[in-house]
Amino acid sequence: MALGEAGACGRLLRWPRVLLFGDSITEYSFQENGWGAYLAERLVRKCDVVNRGISGYNTRWAKLILPRLITESTSGDSIVAVTIFFGANDSALKELNPKQHVPLEEYAANLKSMVQYLKSVDITADRIILITPPPLQESAWEKACLAKGDKLNRCNATTGQYAQACVQVARECGTDVLDLWTLMQNNQDFSSYLSDGLHLSTKGNSFLAAQLWSRLENKLSALPSLLPYWRDVDHTNPEASLL
Name the E strands within 109-182.
Answer: 128-131, 176-178
Helix (H) or strand (E) holding 214: helix 202-220
25 with 85: CB under 8 angstroms? yes
Catalytic residue among 24, 78, 113, 195: 24
Q: Give yes or no: 191 in active site.
A: no
Phi, psi of 56 (to 5 degrees): 85, -5
- Catalytic annotation on 24? yes
- CA gap 22, 27 in Å, rounded: 7
Angle, helices 156-173/104-120, rounded to nearest 10 degrees: 30
CA distance 126 to 46: 19
Catalytic residue among 48, 192, 196, 201: 196
CA distance 88 to 95: 16
Which of the following is catalytic: 101, 176, 179, 199?
199
In 10 A of CB 136, how many CB atoms? 22
Report the alpha-carbon angle 80-83-84, nearest 5: 140
User: Is 196 one of the catalytic residues?
Assistant: yes
Catalytic residues: 24, 196, 199
